[in-house]
Each structure stands twice: as C-alpha cells, then as structure tokens.
Amino acid sequence: MKNTFGNNLTVTLFGESHGNAVGAVLDGLAPGIAVDEEFIRFQLSLRRPVGDISTARQEPDHFVIQSGVFEGRTTGTPLCIVIPNENTRSQDYGDMRGKARPGHADYTAYAKYHGFEDPRGGGHFSGRITAALVAAGAIVLSALKGKGIAVGTHIARLAGLADRDFADWNADIATLAKKPFAVLDAKASMQMVSAITAAKKEGDSVGGVLETAVTGLPAGVGEPWFDTVEGLLAHALFSIPAVKGVEFGTGFDIADLRGSQANDPFRMEQGRVVTTTNHNGGVNGGITNGMPLLFRCAVKPTPTIFKAQDTVDFMQKQNAALQARGRHDPCIVHRARVVVDSVTAFTLYDLLAGRFGTDWLA
Amino acid sequence: MKNTFGNNLTVTLFGESHGNAVGAVLDGLAPGIAVDEEFIRFQLSLRRPVGDISTARQEPDHFVIQSGVFEGRTTGTPLCIVIPNENTRSQDYGDMRGKARPGHADYTAYAKYHGFEDPRGGGHFSGRITAALVAAGAIVLSALKGKGIAVGTHIARLAGLADRDFADWNADIATLAKKPFAVLDAKASMQMVSAITAAKKEGDSVGGVLETAVTGLPAGVGEPWFDTVEGLLAHALFSIPAVKGVEFGTGFDIADLRGSQANDPFRMEQGRVVTTTNHNGGVNGGITNGMPLLFRCAVKPTPTIFKAQDTVDFMQKQNAALQARGRHDPCIVHRARVVVDSVTAFTLYDLLAGRFGTDWLA
Amino acid sequence: MKNTFGNNLTVTLFGESHGNAVGAVLDGLAPGIAVDEEFIRFQLSLRRPVGDISTARQEPDHFVIQSGVFEGRTTGTPLCIVIPNENTRSQDYGDMRGKARPGHADYTAYAKYHGFEDPRGGGHFSGRITAALVAAGAIVLSALKGKGIAVGTHIARLAGLADRDFADWNADIATLAKKPFAVLDAKASMQMVSAITAAKKEGDSVGGVLETAVTGLPAGVGEPWFDTVEGLLAHALFSIPAVKGVEFGTGFDIADLRGSQANDPFRMEQGRVVTTTNHNGGVNGGITNGMPLLFRCAVKPTPTIFKAQDTVDFMQKQNAALQARGRHDPCIVHRARVVVDSVTAFTLYDLLAGRFGTDWLA
Amino acid sequence: MKNTFGNNLTVTLFGESHGNAVGAVLDGLAPGIAVDEEFIRFQLSLRRPVGDISTARQEPDHFVIQSGVFEGRTTGTPLCIVIPNENTRSQDYGDMRGKARPGHADYTAYAKYHGFEDPRGGGHFSGRITAALVAAGAIVLSALKGKGIAVGTHIARLAGLADRDFADWNADIATLAKKPFAVLDAKASMQMVSAITAAKKEGDSVGGVLETAVTGLPAGVGEPWFDTVEGLLAHALFSIPAVKGVEFGTGFDIADLRGSQANDPFRMEQGRVVTTTNHNGGVNGGITNGMPLLFRCAVKPTPTIFKAQDTVDFMQKQNAALQARGRHDPCIVHRARVVVDSVTAFTLYDLLAGRFGTDWLA
C-alpha cells in the first residue's frame, strides 16, 4: 500500500519538497462533517517555521480542496487537498547531487529509485510533505472533536530539558491546542527555545520527545493481533520523518517494573470501569480500555546541519566532504507535534469507522 | 485487515488458548522454499516454557502442515500450519469469569466482543497464539537465511539487569540461534534467571527489553511514507502481547543527542557504502541503508501474578478482589524473543517480495 | 492479497485436492452469530457429487471448526474451519505429470510455480477447495438471514436448456434452499439431468449459467468507484473455477436496449422507493437501490473429459496426446451454485460490515 | 479501500463533475518510466465528446502533474495528476435536486450519503471522473508498451450492430490506437454513428459491447483464488459507469458448449506453448497462459435521456415526472473504450509488479 494508510479511512500522500505541490487524499470520511477552513489554516500555522528557531523557508500554505466538500461539509467521497509549493530555491541544492547527507534519505532514495528520485530539497522525503498531513488532519481532528474525542501533544523533552507531565488531561489538551510552542511548563518552554537557539548558532541541531494524550475514546476499539491500537498508531507515527521510537503508557520504563507495579488496577467509578493508574496507556491486549490513550515519540535531531561532515558521493562511489547550505531547521520537534496529532487522528478515526460504521462520525 | 498482516506475504492468525488449536496461514511464499520440520520444532522449543522460570503448562506443539507444502518444499500456494492444544485445564479459570485481570485483555475483550469472547486462558489474546507465529516464522527465517539474511534477538535487559551489546553481528546472531535463554553475557544470564526465580517466589513477575539485529539486508528496501521499515516492523511487533515500546537504533536516547552526534557518517568500504556509526539502526527515511537493522522492544512484566489485586467484575459492574490461580509465567521475555524473530521475518520478507518479486526469495 | 478476499470481513482460503485438508479462515465476523453445524453439513451436501451426474469421488466433508466459536456462537475472533481430505486416489494422476489438461490450470500453474505446485488432482486449483468456501459461507449466510437478507441461486441454463425466471423472489429463494438440483421448473430439471447423463456417456461435459437473487438488502451499500457492488461480487465470483462471465440485471442484453427501455423508473410504494423494472439488477452507480440484487455467472463445461485431446507435455516441451483417467464431473454447474451463494454472502457481509460497523450483523 | 484499487500499483480517484477538478494518484510506479505528455493529451482526446454524437460539454482537459515526475520520468513516488473542471453549468441541474434520474445514481447516492453528496452533474458518480483514469492510464499504457504489452479495445457491438472480430491481434490493436471511433470495420462504423444520431434525435440513447485484447503478457501471472486475472479485471471494469457485464474469451456463449469444444488444445509452436483456440481468453485457473487476453464489457445505454420519465422525488418522498435538461451523451460506448484500456493497464501492471518486483516495468 506504500503511501496510503488505513482501512476504512485511507490517507494517500503525494508531493515533493520543490515540486508543484504536496497534498493528500482522504477517503472514507463520513458525509456531513463540517470543514472549517480557518481551523485548517490554524493547524498549518502550527507546523510552519517559527522565527529564529526554524528554517527561513516560509510557505504560505494556500491549500485548495479539490474535491469531497460541498457547501462546507464533506460529501463522503474522496477529499483531495493540495498545497502548492510557492517558496522553493532549488539552486541551493544543485551541486550536492550525489553527496549523501548523513542521517537523511539521500542515499537510500538512490538505492531504491536508482537516481530517478527528485533530489531537490529531499524530494518526497522532505518534512514539507507533512503539511498535507496537517491540512487533512485538521478535518479529521474536527470530526473526532465532534464526538468528544480530544487529541493533544506536548514537547515532553527537548535537548535534555523536560516539560511537566499531563495533569488535567482535557484542560492540558485545550491549552496545547492554542500554543505554537507546545510546552505545558512556561519555564521549560523558555529553556527549550534557548537550547534550540544555542544549537543553531553552532550550526547544529537538537531532538526531543513528543508525548500525546487522547481522551474520550470508548472502550473496545482495536484488534487483538496486528491491528492493535499500538501497532496501527506506531505504523503511522514512524512515517513522520525523524521519529525513531514509539512507546505507550510507561513505555520502556515498564520493563524494569514488577507485574504488581505495572498492572493498572480496575475500579468502578460512577458506573464506569476505570483504572487507578495508566501504565498501559489506555490499551490492553491491543484494545482501548476507556482510559486516556498515552504515548511518546522519540524525534531525532534534524539531520541537516551546517557543520562539515564525512560522507560519500554515491554517484561517484567515493568518499566526500559535505558542507550543507540552504535553509534548514535546527529543531523540528515543535513543528512535528501537530503532525503527530494529525496522524493520530487518522488512525483513530479509521479504527472507529471500522468498529461503528461509516456514519458514526458524521 | 485485523488478524492478517502483510501485502505480498500475508500472515493470518487464528486460535484460542484453550480451544482446539492455534494456527496460521502464510500466503505469498515463493515456490520451492525448503521446509525444514526439524527447524520448526527447534524454534517452537525456544518458545516453550523452560523449567522453573516459566508456566507449568507444557504443550508438545505437534504441528501439522495442512497445505502449501509438497515433497518438502513450498508450493507457492497458501501454507496453513495448525498446532493442536493438548494440555488445557479450563476449570482453572471458570469462576474468574467477569473478574478482569489488571494489565490483561479480559475487560477490553468484553467491551469489544460483548461477552461472546472465549474467556478460557485468555482466549484469542493468549500468548499461546504466538506458537503459530513461531512455527510459521521458522519457514520464513529459513527462506531469508537462504538469501544471506540473518535475524537474531537477545535479552538486552531483564528486571533491570543488562546484557552486553551486539559486538560481532553475525557471530552473535549465530550464538543466539542456539541458546534457549538468549543472553550474550553468561554472568548476566545467570543473574537474570535468578531474578525471575525471585519474582516467582513472591508471586510476582518481571519484564525486560529485547534487542534484535538483522544482517544481510540490501539497501533500498522500504517506503518513504507509512510503509517505512520502522512503521511496518512496529505494526507487527506491537501485536506481540506485552510489547509496549519499539525503538530503532539509538531509539529514545537519540532525542538527547545533537545532529552532529546522531548523524551516521557515510564512507566507502570495499566499494560498498557503509556508515561508521549506526544511530539510525540501518534505516534512513524509512528505507534500509545496508547496515544492520537494529531495534528494541520493551516487554512489560507478565500481567497475571499471584498477588491479590484490586479489580472489577465487569459483568456485575462492581469492584472485586482478584486472586489468580492457574499456570502462569513469572516472565515471558525469554520466550518472546523467538516470536520477535518470527514477526521480523514476516515483515522483511514482505518488503523484499514487494521489491524484488515473488520468486526472488525461492 | 492473493488468497484472501474482503476488507471488513476477510476470507482466506487454503488447501489442495489431495493434500491433508482444505479450509478457510473468516476474520471480521460479528461476535454472537449462532453457528449451526447442521446447516453447514447441509450446505456441504449441496456441493457434494450427486449420483450419476457427478464424480465418483465422495468426500464425507467432516469439517472441524478450529477457532472462533465458543458455546455455539462466533467469538468475533478468526474462525478457522478445516475439512480433511479423506478419499484421495493420487495414483490416478501420477503419469500425467507434465501433460497439460486443456482448459485446466496445469500449464499456468507450472508457469507460475515452476513445478513446485502440488499436481495431484489439480492441487490448489481443484474445485475441491470450494468445500471450504461452502462451509464458511454457511455461517455467513445464516448471519445474513438473521438480518432478513436471503440469497438464492438457480441453474438458469444448462446445456442450452432454460429454467424459468425468478417470479416470487422470496418464495423461489426458499424453494431453492432445499433443492439439491437447483432448478425452479420441474420439467427443465429432468431435461437438464438427462443432458448431463448424455454428455457423460460420451466422455464429454456440459456447462451452464447460474442466476442469483438477493433480497432484503438496504439501499445505500457499495462504493462509487472500484468497490462497487458489481465489482466486488465479480472479483469474488470469478475465482470460482469455470466462471467465465458475470453480468448484472439484464446484463449483456442491455447493450441492445435504448435508454428509455433500460432505465428502471422509480416509484413510491408504501413509503419506500422502488423501481418498476429491474434491468440494473438492484444496483445504480455501484450502490444498492433496495431492489433485489440479480446477477448471472457463465460456467464453462468441466475441462476434464474422457475424450482424447491434443496437448503438450510442458516439462518435455513437446506435443503430446492426453487421455484423462480418474474421477471427474461431467458437469459442475449444479454443484457450483452453493459456492456462488457462499461467495455472494462473503461479499455482501463485507460491504454491510463496512457500512454499518462490526456489530450490526450479530 | 473504496476509491483506491490495486496492491502493488494503486490508483486513487477523486473529484466531482462540477467541482474544482478531477484527478488520480498512482502509487507504485517503477522509477524511470518516461512520461509522454503528448500521449496523455491524445488519450484524453479519445475520451472527449465527438461532434454530434456526444454531449455539448467540451472540457479542454488541461491536466497538471502535481508530483511523482522529475525531468520527464517517474520518480517512483506517488504521481498525482489533476484535471481542472473548466466548463461547468451547474444551473442546469438546480431544480432537479431530489428527482432521481432512472438508471442513474442520484437516489443511491442519497441513500448512502444522506444528501451531503454533491448533486451537480452527478457529482462523484459522473463519467467526468473517468478523465482522471484516462490521464493516469496513459502513463501506465506507455510503461506496458515498453515491455511489449499492447492493449486495444474496439466497439464490438453498438445499438445491435456488430463490428468484425479481432483478426491480426497486434495490427488491429495498432489500428485502434489511432481511431477516435474504435470500430475495425469501416461500414459498421458508419452505421453505428447513424444509430447514435438517430437515437439522439429521439432524445434517447444507445448502448453496446466493448471488446478488449491484450498481447505480450507472459504466462504465469495472476492468482488461483480471488486475485485471478479475471476477478481483478472485472473488479476494476465494473467501476466504469454503465458497465453491467464482463466476460472472458467465449464468455456466456461457453455455457452452451461441450468440454470437447470449449477446451483450448495446447501445442508447441517455435518452442513456445500456445493454444490453437482461445475460448478461455488467455486465462486458465485465474492465471495467464501466454495467449492474448480477450474480454468484453456490456455498456448500457446512457441513463440520462430527454424523454419524459416516471420517477420519485426522494427528498419529498413522492412520485414525480422527470424531463431531463442539460448536456448529455446519446451514447458513451465510444468514449468509454479508452477508459477500459486504462483500467486494464492498471490491473495488469499491478499483477506484473507483484510478480516481478517494483523495477521490472521501468
């Protein structure tokens, strides 16, 4: 299925960094979902580079909905959204052809596409393509919200600096929804910005960890094998460039606990089954248990840096030195979080649509 | 697709812990792959409970290949392998109906299947089902081996105790292939066994981290979005019961590195492109780069323990106390590693078959 | 996806004519569907050879449900049903290896599987495999019946002899459900049996046309492109061995009509939208319109005959003469109709489950 | 999967008749396929309305390739092609809202999408959407041609008038490639045009049968169950609006033959296995046998006619009279044939890519 994801809601992604446009096709949306173009614009603004701590490439992201919306609502037929590339400076990259940026996909793209890949700005591998995920994601996030399902992501760690944990789930998600730099603790937020600026000055980059919470999910969604909630989410999340790890609930730290510590005791609360801890991140046996879904993504430091690096010229088959130019991000963690929200929305909508039918989310 | 995984090679899983049998259908195997029943038996023995540190339920795992093999080789048509359940004691569970074991799927299964699920021994959610993955996996691992691709997993951490890292990739993988308790460092191995025994005495359980390496993969396999090597592997790995985190290369620790540290410099080595470090675990932009694939799975402590626990009776909708009985594992990390190898084999074979065609792996 | 069909309900087929067993895995069934083993046995009896007009191979079809059923009802997890092969006489075929039976898959199987295919009795290409479709289909037909959806197929034509058309849809479907030789007109039925007997005497075979009606389907099921009701049904129906054509409503004859004749006028009838004719077979724009679904399958005469035939020995790469032996059917039309019903049931259930959710059909 | 088709090559379709644009995403194309924009334009011209015998709506079909092509060749990443709608006159349809055109999808769309569907000009159900199939199909047809695989379709029957059969396969396909009105026999061609004109004068419409041949396919492509060559092609072909039947080789007429007549004898010819007749249309057991693939599609008369018709107003739930206005085709058979070629190309490319790997078709 390659660049398509999902069973009952599918997302198909296309585009290159310096080509005509990037875009996505959403198929399987319920008919009648209100499409809020203002919210799409806002979500795209959260992904857009911010001041000093991001790339100088500023794209206006003038999206066009080509199909699937009529009189402001989804029709239920495929929705194609296209975002033209307007600010491209391909000459920045011309003489780098063949020189693999370490940590980037230049060499693997060549190994796969034999040199026919579009090399300008990373081509189809560029973070630019995530703009399409965010635009499409905004529509799906709205639909979920209409069913009482809220998704929010914060920067749990950046350059070794930690944000506070989620406390009041719904309030924190609401707070994050409006923040361009999604950190719950104001002091940590300032420190993180400073850390990005410092790395930038050195021509270097930093990474971090994004933590996501989802509230309002019913219990009983997901499959026992293969199409587990964790498996489907991880499948989608790992396609976000730079994500190198995904963990649920207590994640890797659960490995050092005993069963008596890691098990989440069940209790009745106002006629509802709840757990008193959430080490399992809202999922048991691959299926939601009605508690908040909680997971984290490890985001590596942006591979394109301005320090000299050892590499190869894979076309000449020889060692080479690399000195990157162009416009790049010293950190993409803050820009990636709205991509995480979007990809999470696709995955959950897909599971819910399979469970409750096409019309449930309208 | 639920209990089926894969595009060009698909695995379909069925069975319950205390039902007739567990099994799997493999579809898309190249014709002509030698099926080594002795190796299947050996791999099943690696998953089977071991002495004191495992459950007392001993299944002989007398598998039957129902189809897809003729004169000792795959035919290329669907291969169904069935493993009868022979040692079931369902009465152990009868009066626990409705009492959700914390950390287990009892409650979520009820939320999804409305009480029609088979509750005996965890039903379709039981680790017992992984026997089918291992039997099928043995065939696929053999096929990969025939193409020079080796897969090996060790217990990198257990109850807080660490094994040494992979050193000589191929030698370590060969060593692990024969070990029932897959730890590279002999001293760590003994300590881990003691830790399991200690937990068992207390009616408790322990977890750990499994680390997997794959050598011999060509560069250029995987897709840029969604069907990335990381995404597909994680999708499959998270369906192994108790896995709560998956990370590649340096994983979550990469979040604290700078780009200049995390980037893996490329070099030419004997006419081949290599990297001098492997923080990215052999994958750039979702596609293999020809270096060893490296990833880790967090395995939580077995949820079924013999300590009293708070829970609910979800059928009576009231709080309840739980005192588990029956036969259970104080640790499943050592048994899970051959499941990880199997699931890895399916995923890689699928990608390779898509890239190089049906016949390539014969 | 190869030997798997469906999105929300998937059917995976395995087995060979003279191997251990044939079988199927059904995944995506709602939990709680009553499984009537007596009805499965009855449906299998409808597929089984009948007296003089069929092959002498008599299989008892002792099916085993390996998983997915608990206390007589579906659990909602994969249901695997296995039917052992008990009456195989492989020596009948031994010296025919390499000699392609005209009209059969011997040569194409060799071209695809390079000689690793199981050649005994047609291997995985044998009509024997349809026993698994019928057993699994019985469960799905029951589920549909529980929702008021009835499926029935009659032999509309056989050896040039015609049955009467459907008249009272539901009454005719109910009549057919009990008939081993599914012809509505008693006289035509006798003539058809005579035609089969006559062909058999000459060592030859005959074909026919099966016509299927489905009542009780709601309007609004199916997709506008690709996953149309017609497209999905045809996809499944063409995998029934010997089917060479599929047409809906008036089918190929509609090509000679004018629009004013072919259009089915809509009318209100007791508050429901109906059409006064049914040239479109219950489907407009790929989506059900609430009228009976109506389609026909062309079934070619059984390729294995006892007359001498020209062929090649594809292993020796030379011309050869073929004189078939073994046990074969002079006609499979009457045996195929319950296969058509089963395959129809899978396809419709899949569409309904996607539209209305997992639980709708329970 | 809804509006997406294929496993190794996927086509995703989007757009509405009177919306912004129609388009398609092709994913899984080999890298390096030359993209001939002139040929795309030519193919689109074959689908475009012709003089008196078609609708007056003339779309220039100025397509834009948004992604997946670099320096005139496919990159191997998703190719999105968008065709803006430029000549729309939606006011023609305004007051027909709720009045179901008999034979069309107005009512079924309403039943599925609850009135949120775009009703202008048939919305997503319009034949207009096939422009995207044709544009994308041109690229795939070129790729197949590069491997020696030729696809051609003629109007075998129209308004009861018959064309001659294929004679010299490759020569006939080459002839058809250049004909705007794809009839092999010149006299039949003129008669057919007259029949269309006559129907138009009466405000009525005519249908026909399209027959397609494909040469150059290797033997051994296709799957035995479900993903048969016939099943996959039919799945795709039935999504072409107005197709109500698909048959292979001798098709429905094979039902009246005896086995001794219908079987295609095999012979060696210049070291190659051939058949001396082609009743099976190049497919045995779902797999290509190396002979020309041959099939026919029944195309119903265009449902929109200018005669008064009985219908319902499904929004008012009452009977209504319909007098169509707007711009419509008295026949779409001649315009549909290039759609058939395109859909055939997708399906065969998909099968070939699965069999021989991603790069084979480059």
Return the pLDDT at C92: 56
Quote the CA–CA distance of B62 and B131 in Å, as a whole number.
Answer: 11
pLDDT of residue C89: 67
Q: How many CA atoms lie within 13 A of D174 on its CB side?
A: 5
Nearest CA-CA partner of D231 in A240, A182, C4: C4
Measure in Å the smallest separation between the Cα of D108 and chain C Cα atoms: 5
Q: Do D14 and A67 touch (CB under 8 A)?
A: yes
> D272-304, pLDDT tens digit by residue?
999 999 999 999 999 999 999 999 999 999 998
Handedness of CA D141, D146, D149, D152 (dihedral sign): positive
Residue range A228-243: mean pLDDT, rounded: 97
* pLDDT band at B358; cut points 50, 70, 90: confident
Contact D39, D177 (CB under 8 A): no
In angstroms, the separation between the Cα of residue C225 and the nearest Cα of chain D is: 5
Average pLDDT over residues C332-341: 97
The b-or-e profile of C45-54 (16+ CB within 10 A means b, else e) is: ebbbbbeebb
Q: Closest chain C residue to A6 measured between Cα atoms?
A: C7
Instruction: Tell me the pLDDT band of A94, cut-offs 50, 70 and 90.
Output: low
Is residue A238 pLDDT above 70, yes or no?
Answer: yes
CB proximity A35 to D under 8 Å: no
Q: In chain A, which residues have their Cβ closer than 8 Å to the Cβ of D82?
A: 66, 80, 82
Is A124's CB within 8 Å of D78's CB? yes
**Average pLDDT of span B168-174:** 98
CB contacts of D124 in chain A (<8 Å) are 67-68, 75, 77-78
Task: Pick the residue of B2, B16, B260 with the most A CBs within 10 A to test the interface with A by mutation.
Answer: B260
Q: Could you tell me how many CB contacts below 8 A there are between chain A and chain C? A: 26
Q: Which of A239, A323, A334, A355 to mutate to test the interface with B (most CBs of B within 10 A)?
A: A239
Q: Where are the beta strands (DSSP E) in chain A?
A: 4-5, 10-15, 21-27, 64-65, 69-70, 73-74, 79-84, 150-158, 161-162, 208-215, 243-248, 266-269, 272-275, 283-284, 287-288, 293-299, 309-313, 318-322
pLDDT digits (tens, 9 = 90+) for D70-91: 999 999 999 999 999 987 766 6
Summary mean pLDDT of chain D: 94
Mean pLDDT of D330-356: 97
Interacting residues of B5 by C-beta distance below 8 A, sequence separation 6+: A225, A226, B11, B235, B236, B239, B346, B347
Q: Which two tokens stand for residue B81?
A: 């392998």
Query: Band of the pLDDT at B90, cuts 50, 70, 90?
Result: low
In angstroms, the separation between the Cα of residue B227 and the nearest Cα of chain A is 5
pLDDT band at D149 (very low <50, low <70, confident <90, very high): very high
**Spatial separation of the C-alpha atoms in residues B4 and B1, rounded to whole Å:** 6
Measured between CB atoms, which of A112, A252, A309 is closest to B209? A252
Residue C109, H or E segment: helix C106-113
pLDDT score for D133? 98
Contacts of B8 in chain D (CB under 8 A): 7-8, 354
Q: How confident is the model at residue C353 (pLDDT cuts 50, 70, 90)?
A: very high
Lowest mean pLDDT among C3-7, C58-62, C144-148, D117-121: C58-62
- Give the model's confidence band at B95: pLDDT under 50 very low, under 70 low, under 90 confident, else very high: low
List of chains touching B (3+ CB pairs within 8 A)? A, C, D
Question: For residue D93, is pLDDT > 90?
Answer: no
Rounded Cα–Cα distance for residues C1 and C12 (Å): 9
Could you give the CA distance from residue D249 to residue D254 in angstroms, rounded to a whole number? 8
Looking at beta carbons, which pairs linking B197-200 to residues 24 or more positions away fall under 8 Å?
Answer: B197/B52, B197/B53, B197/B330, B199/A258, B199/A259, B199/B159, B199/B301, B199/B330, B199/B331, B200/B52, B200/B53, B200/B330
Burial track C283-311 (b if 16+ CB lie within 10 A, e otherwise) = bbbbbbbbbbbbbbbbbbbbbbbbeebbb
What is the arithmetic mean of pLDDT over D180-185? 97
Lowest mean pLDDT among A63-77, C89-103, C207-221: C89-103
Q: Residue A289: pLDDT above 90?
A: yes
Closest CA to B93 of B122, B54, B128, B120: B120
- Chains with 3+ CB–CB pairs under 8 A to C are A, B, D
Q: What is the DSSP string of A85-116?
A: -----GGGTGGGTTBPPTTSSHHHHHHHHTT-
CB contact under 8 A, C255 and D207: yes
pLDDT for A300: 98
Report B:270-299 residues touching A (Cβ under 8 A). 271, 273, 275-276, 279-281, 283-290, 296, 298-299
Does the pLDDT at position C160 exceed 90? yes
Taking only residues 69 to 108 of chain A, the set having a beta carbon closer than 8 angstroms to any beta carbon of chain D reads 70, 73-80, 82
Report pLDDT digits (tens) over B331-341.
999 999 999 99
Q: Do D67 and A10 touch (CB under 8 A)?
A: no
Nearest to D326 by CA among D199, D203, D242, D195: D203
What confidence tens digit (pLDDT) does each residue in A172-217 have?
999 999 999 999 999 999 999 999 999 999 999 999 999 999 999 9
The strand pair at C64-65 and D161-162 is best described as unpaired
Q: Does A263 sit within 8 Å of B103, measured CB to CB?
A: yes
Cβ distance of D224 and B77 shorter than 8 Å: yes
CA distance A12 to A80: 9
Place of tokens 């202008």: D120
Range of weakest confidence among B83-87, B167-171, B281-285, C154-158: B83-87
pLDDT for residue B92: 55
